[in-house]
């Protein structure tokens, strides 16, 4: 091919220099005859055009016959529509609403503790008894007085219905009876506060105050009780995601300490933006059948904030950028026997996930995109696809 080009070029030069009996270019220029100079130029231009056309024909034939020509080797893949899920990554802490430190409601000596650490208890089960400080004997005495007041009232009521006795005696008996009943109830309520009950079913995580110690409301902690069945993760989400992170969104949860991964959904989204860090709270429930998950564990969270059912995904590594800031890649057209033409395509990209990016515009479903070798080819270049 190089020999043919060289011969044709030499022929043009010899002709232009005045081969045969014709004047040379130098002689015509020296003659200063404008018409002769223009005529010579037109003749040389016509020959130049003719030879260019012949060169193109020769090059095309050489390309068709030359089996040893060098063609850029590339690999490719077919862009196909698929489901694309984008996630935002956050950190959160495991919590539970059923984690309570029980404190006494009545002052006194912690007379009896009925449970021990690690013991399972049910809602309403008696955990401890505080000495009532003599309220029980007082209650017994008041009940006797209440029974007497009741008997007196019932007798006065019968007499009053029979029009016997005065209205004042009836009202005094009624008032005395009601006052005695109220006093009994007040003592019963005070005594009930000396009995410590489980607020919900769970496990006694810690017995904080030992039997025999003096306790007082608001001062001493008795037990820590926890229920590990209903756990959730609480995290802070940046306010820019307020329209995409909503109730029902899918969530991937990873607990690094336990090397566990869970699939769950957002069940609660806060309605308040924290002005200090511009975030809102989100709660995500987690199943804890194994009871391995504990409150305050650190969790890695991936919340699905965007989904495209028909996305075209490509590796980010094959995308280049031109001087105008436009992103582009190469596709293969006119492919035959694994040989085709590389064509540049300006694209518009969307969300990224890992090493892949979503293409919104620029290529169609089923396009053959150049993968390896994309950085070293040019638009319109002939390429050969290496089959895997």
Give the contacts of 63 (CB within 8 A, at least 6 positions apart): 69
In a domain, 286, yes or no: no
Mark whether 112 and 209 lie in a shared domain.
yes
386 pLDDT above the threshold of 90: no
Q: Is 118 in the same domain as 51?
A: no
Read off the CATH number of the domain in which 359 is found.
2.40.420.20
Q: Are residues 52 and 79 in the same domain?
A: no
**pLDDT tens digit sequence for 46-79:** 888 888 888 878 877 776 676 556 788 999 999 9
Both 79 and 108 in one domain: the answer is no
Q: Give the pLDDT confidence score for residue 18 in this predicted structure.
A: 45
Helix (H, G, I), strand (E, B) or coil at 217: coil
Write the CATH number for 184: 2.40.50.100
Question: Within a domain: residue 119?
Answer: yes
- What is the four-CA torsion angle of 87, 93, 96, 102, rounded to 10 degrees? -170
Tell me: do 43 and 76 sit in the same domain. Answer: no
Q: What is the pLDDT of residue 48?
A: 82
Whether residue 379 is contained in a domain is answered as yes
Q: Which pLDDT value is given to residue 67?
A: 58
111 and 178 share one domain: yes
Structural domain range at position 25: 2-65
Calpha distance 19→10 (Å, rounded): 12
**Is the pLDDT assigned to residue 41 strictly greater than 90?**
no
List pLDDT tens digits, range 78-126: 999 999 999 999 999 999 888 899 999 999 999 999 999 999 999 999 9
Same domain flag for 56 and 77: no
**Sign for the pseudo-dihedral over CA of 174, 179, 181, 182:** positive
The reply to whether 78 and 110 lie within a common domain is: no
CA neighbor of 327 nearest in space, from 336, 317, 337, 335? 317
Structural domain contains residue 370: yes
User: 111 and 205: one domain?
Assistant: yes
Tell me the pLDDT tens digit for each residue of 292-342: 899 999 999 999 999 999 999 999 999 999 989 999 999 999 988 889 999
Structure tokens at 293: 């998950």
Is residue 244, in this structure, part of any structural domain at all? no
Once rounded to an integer, what is the mean pLDDT over residues 262-279? 94
pLDDT of residue 137: 87
- Condensed to tens digits (0 to 9), the pLDDT of residues 220-233 reads 999 999 988 889 99
Give Cα 127 to chain centroid, integer Å.
42
Q: Are residues 19 and 120 both part of a single domain? A: no
Q: Which of 204, 224, 244 finishes a domain?
A: 224
**Assigned domain for 206 exists:** yes
- pLDDT-wise least confident of 58-62, 69-73, 190-194, 240-244: 58-62
Q: Exposed, middle or buried by CB within 10 Å (0-12, 13-18, 19+), for 3?
A: exposed
Closest CA to 238 of 264, 208, 270: 270
Residues contacting residue 327 through CB under 8 Å, at least 6 positions apart: 319, 320, 321, 346, 347, 348, 349
The verdict on residue 289 lying in a domain is no
Partners of 253 in beta bridges: 262, 301
Q: Which of 2-11, 151-160, 239-248, 261-270 has the lowest mean pLDDT?
A: 2-11
Whether 55 and 10 map to the same domain: the answer is yes
Average pLDDT over residues 255-273: 93
The reply to whether 263 falls in a domain is no
What domain count does the chain have? 3
Same domain (yes/no): 133, 39: no
User: In this predicted structure, what is the pLDDT of residue 50?
Assistant: 85
């Amino acid at each position: 091919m190089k020999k043919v080009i060289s011969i044709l070029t030499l022929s043009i030069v010899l002709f232009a220099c005045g081969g045969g009996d014709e004047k040379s270019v130098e002689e015509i220029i020296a003659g200063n005859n404008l018409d002769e100079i223009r005529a010579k130029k037109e003749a040389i231009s016509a020959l130049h055009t003719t030879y260019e056309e012949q060169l193109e024909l020769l090059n095309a034939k050489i390309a068709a016959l030359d089996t040893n020509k060098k063609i850029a080797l590339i690999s490719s893949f077919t862009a196909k529509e698929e489901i694309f899920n984008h996630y935002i990554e956050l950190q959160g802490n495991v919590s539970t609403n059923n984690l309570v430190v029980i404190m006494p409601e009545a002052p006194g000596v912690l007379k009896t503790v009925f449970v021990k650490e690690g013991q399972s208890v049910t809602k309403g089960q008696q955990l401890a008894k505080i000495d009532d400080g003599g309220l029980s004997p007082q209650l017994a005495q008041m009940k006797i007085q209440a029974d007497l007041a009741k008997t007196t009232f019932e007798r006065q009521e019968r007499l009053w219905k029979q029009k016997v006795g005065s209205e004042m005696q009836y009202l005094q008996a009624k008032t005395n009876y009601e006052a005695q009943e109220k006093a009994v109830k007040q003592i019963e309520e005070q005594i009930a506060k000396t009995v410590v009950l489980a607020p919900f079913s769970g496990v006694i995580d810690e017995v904080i105050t030992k039997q025999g110690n003096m306790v007082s409301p608001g001062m001493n902690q008795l037990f820590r009780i926890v229920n590990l069945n209903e756990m959730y993760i609480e995290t802070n989400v940046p306010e820019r995601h307020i329209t995409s992170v909503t109730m029902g969104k899918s969530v991937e949860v990873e607990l690094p300490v336990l090397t566990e991964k869970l699939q769950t959904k957002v069940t609660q989204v806060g309605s308040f933006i924290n002005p200090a860090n511009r975030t809102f709270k989100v709660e995500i429930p987690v199943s804890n059948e194994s009871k391995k998950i504990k409150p305050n564990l650190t969790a890695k969270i991936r919340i699905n904030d965007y989904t495209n059912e028909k996305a075209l995904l490509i590796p980010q590594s094959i995308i280049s950028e031109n001087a105008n800031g436009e992103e582009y890649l190469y596709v293969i057209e006119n492919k035959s026997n694994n040989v085709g033409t590389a064509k540049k395509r300006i694209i518009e990209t969307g969300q990224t996930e890992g090493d892949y990016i979503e293409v919104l515009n620029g290529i169609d479903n089923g396009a053959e995109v150049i993968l390896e070798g994309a950085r070293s080819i040019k638009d319109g270049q002939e390429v050969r696809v290496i089959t895997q």
